[in-house]
Copies of this chain bind each other. A is one copy, B any other.
Amino acid sequence: MQVATHQSTPFTLTLAAAGLLLGAHAVAADKPLPPRPTVADVVKASPASDWRPLDADNTLYMETAGGRVIIELAPVFAPNHVANIKALVREQYFDGLAIIRSQDNYVVQWGDADDAHPKPVKTAKSALKAEFTIPLKNDPHFTRLAERDVYAPQVGHSNGIPVARDPKAGLTWIAHCYGTIGVGRDNDADSGSGTSLYAVNGHAPRHLDRNITMVGRVVSGMPLLSTLPRGTGVMGFYEKPESSAAIVSVKVAADVPAAERSALEIMRTDSASFQAVVNAQRNRGGPWTKYAAGHVELCNVPIPVRPRPAP
């Protein structure tokens, strides 16, 4: 079968060897490229210490008609919004609401479709001061990519999240990559609260960076959101409720009995294995690849997540 992409080939990963690829240049391939570790190879060879479990206190399970969407929140980047979203979840605000918008190659959004009779907020706050950016010093977890990008002089990862930085302004923020989650708001910067959230379902709409409070990332179940029928209303809002888009419940993982939790772990983005993942994506090897890019763009870096191996 003809495939569009490099299929993994067996390769014994040496992290030291992978490290040598950092900064390798693109080479036009008149001759076959040497074998190089793939992302799958790196995952397979990685030590257990280069992984961490999802943070149960900051992980949400959104149960939809089709299954569970798992979100890891990023309290470092939006402490007040993350706290408020957890308060909303714990007062069962989202239970029985729905995905209300699905715009192709942009965002899928959920919350309350009923503007006329909005669901009351009980214990949580109804509006919060914007957390579009944070001071650099507030993020102790940043690992920088060698590459900058079109939108920011520095980009990289922080505790599993793609982020961008402006050292001159002393600011950092979550970048709008596939699966990242933002807080819908009205025109007022301080009008969002977390009652309406969206996830990026297409190419990174980075023009939204620094305009929205970003709160985390979908780490599992993204296809449940990305395959929803596109809304036919303005900006992809549904004009009538979609049966596939109901939200059964949203819970904080820590509140869910252990037996019902999803045992996932995420590769530490400050680990040697993650550096090897980045290098594998920068420079793919033979036999399928004919040209190794030599560079990688922030939102094109995979962030591996997998079931936790049995202890």
**Number of copies of this kind of chain in the complex:** 2
- Which of A105, A210, A227, A290 gathers most chain B CB within 10 Å? A105
Contact indicator per residue, chain A 148-173, by CB within 8 Å of chain B (1) or not (0): 11110000000000000000010000
Query: A205, B300: Cβ atoms under 8 Å?
Result: yes
Which one of A43-51, A73-81, A182-190 is at the interface?
A182-190
Query: A109, B208: Cβ atoms under 8 Å?
Result: no
Query: B5, A235: Cβ atoms under 8 Å?
Result: yes
Query: B207, A284: Cβ atoms under 8 Å?
Result: yes
Contact indicator per residue, chain A 189-217, by CB within 8 Å of chain B (1) or not (0): 10110011010001111111111100000
Query: B300, A210: Cβ atoms under 8 Å?
Result: no
A284–B282 alpha-carbon span in the complex (Å): 32
In the assembled complex, A61 has its CB within 8 A of some CB on chain B:
no
Query: B105, A226: Cβ atoms under 8 Å?
Result: yes
In the assembled complex, A293 has its CB within 8 A of some CB on chain B:
yes
Q: Given A3-B235, A230-B227, A187 and B288 touching (CB < 8 A)?
A: yes
A203–B101 alpha-carbon span in the complex (Å): 19
A299–B297 alpha-carbon span in the complex (Å): 12
Query: A211, B297: Cβ atoms under 8 Å?
Result: no
A236 shortest CB reach to chain B, Å: 10
In the assembled complex, A228 has its CB within 8 A of some CB on chain B:
yes
A226–B299 alpha-carbon span in the complex (Å): 19
Residues of B within 8 A of A202 (CB): 178, 202-203, 226
A192–B184 alpha-carbon span in the complex (Å): 45
Select one of B149, B229, B237 contacting A149, CB under 8 A: B149
Residues of B within 8 A of A186 (CB): 2-3
Contact indicator per residue, chain A 85-102, by CB within 8 Å of chain B (1) or not (0): 000000000000000010
A168–B226 alpha-carbon span in the complex (Å): 39
22 contacts between A and B (CB under 8 A): A2-B185, A2-B195, A3-B186, A5-B205, A7-B234, A7-B235, A104-B222, A105-B178, A132-B290, A132-B291, A149-B149, A149-B150, A149-B297, A150-B295, A178-B203, A206-B293, A207-B281, A210-B290, A211-B291, A223-B229, A227-B227, A227-B229
